[in-house]
Amino acid sequence: MVAPLRSDSPPVSAPDNPCIALFHPRVYNQPSVEFWLRVTSGMIGQQKRELRALVATWIELARDANQAREIEIVHQPVYLPGLPKAFDGYLVAQLSDIHYDVHHGSFADEDHIEAAVRAINRIRPDLVVLTGDYVTASVAHIQPLAEMLAEIEARDGVFAVLGNHDFWSGADRVARALRRQGIAMLRNAHTQLRRDGEGVALLGVDDSTVLAHDLAAARRGVPEGMTTILLSHNPTLIGRAVRSGIDLMLSGHTHGGQIRLSPRSSRRRRSLWQGWRRFGPTQLYINRGLGTVVLPVRFQCPPEITIIELKCGSPRDRRWRFLKKREMGRRRTSLR
């Protein structure tokens, strides 16, 4: 309501909507400065209310669309030419980028992490690998996180590498807390997984974002010709992995982009964003992560647990067989 402006003028009653009030015939004839100020302030107030309502609606819609708590379990077969027969069908569960720290209330809470741990245990993997970024900016909550991760069950154990956020927050404290809970840290080191007298080398490097990686040190002592799986938080290490003859590299770091407005564009750019790729003889899998950074939001990019199934065989042969089958199908169609 716009109040009367001058004591000598007749009382003016304008509609509630300031846009109408501005051109209301009864007030239009009294264009004093005070009048315009009142009308303008009324308009701003109205706009603020409308803006607030709009923002509230958008927040509600964003909450409904937010996939930050919808964990997707991705099954990814990986064919490795030199894989020992004893490892055919070997299941490796990968968890990455949990980001549990001062922001954990809204970013990654206990329920979310415990749900992931339960999901992994239900699958009963042979091995579990953690590919870094347990925290975002503080190690204050690493102890409860390490205790939650200690609940993971895997026949050959749980192995972990560190991410850039762990280094920025306190790499040694993160590593110590995980180690105390029985999680083996691979810091520019390797171990051998054994099955029926055969072995696969599992290597892990410190994060390359902070230039703490040393792949040569991690590789030192790995028997020639042995199948190698490398854990590297940052997937940009793929070039070195290829040159070093790594068979499979498992990474995180990207969060898959976290918010993907166009799935088509992200498919085009996915080479180092998420999922499986092949670079010559080396295969790479990038896990989208469990937590979030910057915003506690995921859109068209849910959190992920990857179940890598190792298979004997060559991916090239497999693709060739697929192309040949498709070609045969085409030929058959053209003959009709």
Q: Closer CB to Fe ion, residue 24 or residue 288?
A: 288
**Cα angle, residue 308 at apex, residues 148 and 109 outer, rounded to 5°:** 25
Interface residue with Fe ion among 97, 101, 206, 207 (CB under 5 A) is 97
Interface residue with Fe ion among 101, 126, 133, 166 (CB under 5 A) is 133
Which one of 24-32, 51-59, 79-87, 89-97 is the stretch in contact with Fe ion (CB under 5 A)?
89-97
As a dihedral over the C-alpha atoms of residue 13, residue 17, residue 22, residue 27, rounded to 10 degrees, the angle is: -10
Residue 166 touches Fe ion, criterion: CB under 5 A = no
> How far, CA to CA in Å, does 273 sit from each of 211, 230, 258, 260, 290?
20, 18, 10, 11, 15
Q: Closer CB to Fe ion, residue 83 or residue 205?
A: 205
Which one of 33-41, 64-72, 103-111, 131-139 is the stretch in contact with Fe ion (CB under 5 A)?
131-139
CB of 99 to Fe ion, least distance (A): 6
CB of 103 to Fe ion, least distance (A): 13
CA–CA dist 299, 308 (Å, integer) = 24
CB neighbours of residue 28 within 10 Å: 13
CB of 253 to Fe ion, least distance (A): 6
Which one of 90-98, 179-187, 216-224, 264-272 is the stretch in contact with Fe ion (CB under 5 A)?
90-98
* 3-state DSSP assignment of residue 214: coil
Q: Closer CB to Fe ion, residue 127 or residue 290?
A: 290
Residue 101 touches Fe ion, criterion: CB under 5 A = no
CB of 27 to Fe ion, least distance (A): 58
Residue 207 touches Fe ion, criterion: CB under 5 A = no
CB-hemisphere CA count at 13 Å for 52?
A: 6
Tell me, residue by residue from 43 to 72, as one string, x for binding to Fe ion by CB under 5 A and - for no binding: ------------------------------
* 3-state DSSP assignment of residue 38: helix
Question: Based on the number of CB atoms within 10 Å of its own CB, is 30 exposed (0-12), middle (13-18) or buried (19 or more)?
Answer: middle
Report which secondary-structure segment, H or E, holds 305: strand 304-312
CB of 293 to Fe ion, least distance (A): 6
Which one of 14-22, 56-64, 91-99, 189-197 is the stretch in contact with Fe ion (CB under 5 A)?
91-99
Amino acid, res. 319: R
Q: Closer CB to Fe ion, residue 97 or residue 304?
A: 97
Q: Closer CB to Fe ion, residue 97 or residue 206?
A: 97
Residue 206 touches Fe ion, criterion: CB under 5 A = no
CA–CA dist 94, 78 (Å, integer) = 13
CA–CA dist 40, 46 (Å, integer) = 10
Residue 304 touches Fe ion, criterion: CB under 5 A = no
CB of 163 to Fe ion, least distance (A): 6
For strands 198-204 and 189-195, give the pairing. antiparallel
For strands 275-279 and 184-185, give the pairing. unpaired
Amino acid, res. 163: G
CB of 199 to Fe ion, least distance (A): 31
What phi and psi, each to the nearest 5 degrees, are found at residue 125?
-70, 160
Which one of 70-78, 128-136, 139-147, 321-329 is the stretch in contact with Fe ion (CB under 5 A)?
128-136
Q: Closer CB to Fe ion, residue 43 or residue 295?
A: 295
Q: Closer CB to Fe ion, residue 97 or residue 126?
A: 97
Report which secondary-structure segment, H or E, holds 192: strand 189-195
What residues make contact with Fe ion under the rule CB under 5 A? 97, 133
